[in-house]
Amino acid sequence: MPTHRRATDDTRPDRRPGVDEAEAALVEHYPRLVRLAYLILPPGLGRHRRVLTAHAVVQRVLPRSRKGDATSPVPAQRGTAGAAYVWIRERVVRDALDRDGRPRHWRAFVSRRLPRLPAVAGLRLFPRAGGGDELALDQALFAVGSAARAALALRVLEGMAAGEVRTLLTAAGVRDPAGALRAAERLASERGGRTETLLGAPEFDPCTVQTRPTDLLRRRHRTRLAGATAVVVALAASVLIAMPEQSPPRPTAVAGGAVGASLARALDPALLERAADDAWSDTSRVDFSVWPARGERTGDGALLERALRAWGGPGQAVRVKATTGTASAPPAEPPRLLYAGEVGGAVVVLLHDGRRVARYAEPVSGDGAPALDLARTDDADVTTAGAVVVSRGRDGVRYLLAPWIAESSTRDLLAPDTPAEDLAVSKDGVTAPVPEPAPGDGCASWPVLRLRSSEKIVERHAFLLTDLGDLSPAHLTYSPLPGTGAPARAPREATGGAAQASWARTACSLGSLRGSGVRAVNNWAFAEQELPETGARATWVCTRADSWRGPGRIAVRLQQPASSPAEPDTVVAEVRDTASCSRFGQHVLAGTRWRAPSGSWFLLAAGSRDVTRITATGAVLADESARTLAVPAPREGDVDLTGRLTNGEQLPSVR
Q: What is the model's pTM? A: 0.63
Reply yes or no on whether the pLDDT at 480 is more than 90. yes
Reply yes or no on whether the pLDDT at 309 is more than 80. yes
CA distance 340 to 362: 11
Average pLDDT, the chain: 83
Residue 283 confidence class, pLDDT cut points 50, 70, 90 = confident
User: Range with the lowest mean pLDDT among 207-211, 295-299, 414-418, 458-462?
Assistant: 207-211
pLDDT in tens, 252-277: 333 333 346 778 888 999 999 999 99
Give every CB contact of residue 562 below 8 A, 6+ residues apart in sequence: 505
Looking only at the bridges linking them, the beta strands covering 537-547 and 552-559 are antiparallel
| Entry field: residues in the chain | 655
pLDDT in tens, 58-89: 988 877 655 444 333 333 333 344 788 898 99
Instruction: List strand residue ranges (DSSP E) for 515-565, in order.
Output: 518-530, 537-547, 552-559
pLDDT score for 7: 36
Reply yes or no on whether the pLDDT at 247 is more than 50. no
**Mean pLDDT value of segment 107-122:** 50
Reply yes or no on whether the pLDDT at 624 is more than 50. yes
**Mean pLDDT value of segment 89-105:** 74
Residue 172 confidence class, pLDDT cut points 50, 70, 90 = confident
**Mean pLDDT value of segment 580-584:** 91
pLDDT score for 228: 52
CA distance 467 to 434: 10
Cα dihedral sign, 155-160-166-168:
negative
pLDDT in tens, 49-64: 888 898 999 988 877 6
**Mean pLDDT value of segment 181-195:** 83
DSSP-based three-state secondary structure for 174: coil
Per the DSSP assignment, residues forming a β-bridge with 323 are: none
**Mean pLDDT value of segment 411-418:** 94
pLDDT score for 4: 37
pLDDT score for 80: 40
Does 58 or 6 have the greater pLDDT score? 58
Tell me how far the alpha carbon of residue 18 is from its chain's centroid: 45
User: Range with the lowest mean pLDDT among 67-81, 357-371, 501-515?
Assistant: 67-81
Count other C-beta atoms under 10 Å from residue 440's C-beta: 6
